[in-house]
């Protein structure tokens, strides 16, 4: 019986010739990740268990990104706990204010993760690194503590769903539209504890940033992970970043999948998710005109340079609507600097946007964009649950940077090709 990409990676890291769905295995880890919210909890578990040293200071990454720059005393105390631990154990990949980026954009950028890796992170969107052909998944802080101490974690080998991509995306259609469309098709539990394995000739038409976005939101379909095959684009991306030897795994021709979902990229339209589930999808045109109060362009899902370029393309020479607050958050310091060099930051400021240092802030209703009752936002983030971005009576609409920027200008949900009609 053949194996999927995910199963091959897990078998390799468990030292086994083969595994099958449902097997319980113990696998060696290449990277253990935590942030300012989850790491302090993991540290307490680590220390309460009597552990005195980490398994490998080079294979742990701690990124202070959720409430930073610290918004209050509690967040400052959480960060201080993480800083002290990182200093005590000489953690190589520790990122603080001024060097920080949103973790799931930062780790690929810094070459900390790469093809064939087995990665756990105490953050649900750790599945992002599947874009590089890695097995990466979110875990709880207790598992993070165990991983920091032992360099291992146990897994139940997941079943897989094969997602076959055909064709090529049209103008103004992005990876965000692909994943929102998929979640709309299968639901928020459609891939529960399953691996979403992307394949087909359409994969080559997606940029790396598109793939990061798609893998990032595998968890929004309940997925254990989302993974792409390693191709020339992958290898070009990691060139000069990833210093370890990449391990490339390919699914067997007779790999077993629970089912196959086929998506024709040629037919996709700009898509949004309406409150209060990522699966509540419509085309943006179907709900155009829905009034909004805020737009957020950023997050681990869509804060990369291509996302900022897309937003700037729409905002150049235009103004944000008077009734709208538009917040732009580059995902890393490198992306922020590139945005400045390319003149994108100037475009945003002239349009009337607030441009922030890298932070997860508004995505989880933490800071830098919390909403009050009755307000509605279009955002490039990944979740639109009740109260996700503030008051329980506020609303979040998920969209691509193109739709978010167009909506900021129009003051309502809007697509780029409809802006001329406003």
What are the pLDDT digits (tens) for 160-192? Answer: 999 999 999 999 999 999 999 999 999 999 999
The confidence score (pLDDT) of residue 297 equals 98
Would the CA dihedral through 302, 305, 306, 311 be positive or negative? positive
- Beta-carbon contacts of residue 353 (< 8 Å; ≥ 6 apart): 315, 320, 326, 327, 328, 408
Report whether 381 contacts 296 (CB < 8 A): yes
- Burial code of 42-75, b = ≥16 C-beta within 10 A, e = fewer? bbebbeeeebeebbeeebbbbbbbbbbbbbeeeb
- The whole-angstrom separation of Cα 422 and Cα 413 is 11
Instruction: Give the position of tokens 């139940």.
Output: 156
Query: What are the boundaries of each domain within the chain?
Result: 6-10+14-18+22-263, 272-415
HSE toward the beta carbon, residue 386, CA cutoff 13 A: 2
- The whole-angstrom separation of Cα 217 and Cα 215 is 5
- Beta-carbon contacts of residue 43 (< 8 Å; ≥ 6 apart): 81, 82, 85, 145
The confidence score (pLDDT) of residue 422 equals 53
Angle between helices 208-216 and 305-315 (to 10 degrees): 100
The confidence score (pLDDT) of residue 69 equals 93
Q: Centre a 10 Å sphere on the Cβ of residue 22 and count the other Cβ atoms it contains.
A: 9
CATH assignment, 6-10+14-18+22-263: 3.30.499.10
Residue 336 bridge partners (DSSP): none
Give the CATH fold of the 272-415 domain.
Aconitase; domain 3 (3.30.499)
Would the CA dihedral through 212, 320, 285, 394 be positive or negative? positive
Q: Centre a 10 Å sphere on the Cβ of residue 186 and count the other Cβ atoms it contains.
A: 20
6-10+14-18+22-263 and 272-415: identical CATH topology: yes
Q: Please work out, in degrees rounded to the nearest 5, the angle formed at the alpha carbon of residue 29 by the alpha carbons of 40 and 23.
A: 110
- What confidence tens digit (pLDDT) does each residue in 85-105 have? 999 999 999 999 999 999 999
pTM of the predicted model, to two decimals?
0.95
Task: Please choose, from the candidates 200, 132, 211, 207, the residue with its C-alpha nearest in 3D space to the C-alpha of residue 167.
Answer: 200
The confidence score (pLDDT) of residue 419 equals 84
- Mean pLDDT per 10-residue segment, the chain (422 residues): 95 96 97 97 97 97 95 96 97 95 97 98 97 97 97 97 97 97 95 96 96 97 97 97 95 95 97 96 96 97 98 97 97 97 98 96 91 97 93 97 98 90 54
The confidence score (pLDDT) of residue 172 equals 96
Report whether 407 contacts 277 (CB < 8 A): no
Would the CA dihedral through 64, 70, 75, 76 be positive or negative? positive
Instruction: Give the position of tokens 């992002």.
Output: 128
């Amino acid at each position: 019986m053949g194996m999927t990409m995910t199963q091959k990676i897990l078998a390799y890291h468990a030292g086994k010739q083969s595994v099958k769905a449902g097997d319980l295995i113990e696998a060696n880890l290449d990277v253990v990740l935590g942030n300012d919210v989850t790491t302090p909890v993991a540290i307490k578990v680590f220390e309460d268990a009597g552990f005195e040293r980490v398994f490998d200071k080079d294979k742990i990454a701690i990124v202070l990104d959720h409430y930073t720059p610290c918004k209050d005393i509690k967040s400052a105390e959480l960060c201080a706990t993480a800083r002290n631990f990182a200093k005590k154990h000489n953690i190589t990949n520790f990122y603080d204010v001024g060097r920080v980026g949103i973790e799931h954009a930062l780790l690929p950028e810094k070459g900390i993760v790469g093809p064939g890796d087995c990665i756990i992170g105490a953050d649900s969107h750790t599945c992002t690194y599947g874009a590089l052909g890695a097995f990466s998944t979110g875990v709880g802080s207790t598992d993070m503590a165990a991983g920091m101490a032992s360099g291992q974690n146990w897994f139940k080998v997941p079943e897989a769903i094969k997602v076959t991509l055909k064709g090529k995306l049209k103008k103004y259609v992005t990876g965000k539209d692909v994943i929102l469309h998929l979640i709309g098709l299968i639901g928020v539990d459609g891939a529960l504890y399953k691996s979403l394995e992307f394949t087909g000739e359409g994969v080559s038409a997606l940029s790396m940033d598109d793939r990061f976005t798609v893998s990032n939101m595998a968890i929004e379909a309940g997925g254990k992970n989302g993974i792409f095959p390693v191709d020339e684009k992958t290898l070009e991306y990691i060139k000069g970043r990833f210093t370890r030897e990449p391990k490339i795994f390919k699914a067997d021709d007779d790999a077993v999948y629970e089912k196959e979902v086929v998506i024709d990229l040629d037919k996709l339209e700009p898509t949004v998710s309406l409150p209060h589930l990522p699966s509540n999808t419509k085309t943006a045109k179907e709900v155009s005109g829905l009034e909004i109060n805020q737009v957020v362009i950023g997050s681990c899902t869509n804060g990369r340079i291509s996302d900022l370029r897309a937003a700037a393309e729409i905002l150049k020479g235009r103004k944000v609507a008077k009734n709208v607050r538009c917040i732009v958050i580059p995902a890393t310091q490198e992306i922020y600097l590139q945005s400045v060099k390319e003149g994108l930051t100037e475009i945003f400021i002239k349009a009337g946007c607030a441009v922030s240092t890298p932070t997860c802030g508004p995505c989880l209703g933490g800071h830098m964009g919390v909403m009050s009752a009755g307000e509605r936002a279009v955002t490039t983030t990944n979740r639109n649950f009740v109260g996700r971005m503030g008051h329980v009576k506020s609303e979040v609409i998920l969209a691509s940077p193109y739709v978010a920027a167009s909506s900021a200008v129009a003051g309502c949900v809007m697509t780029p090709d409809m802006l001329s009609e406003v």
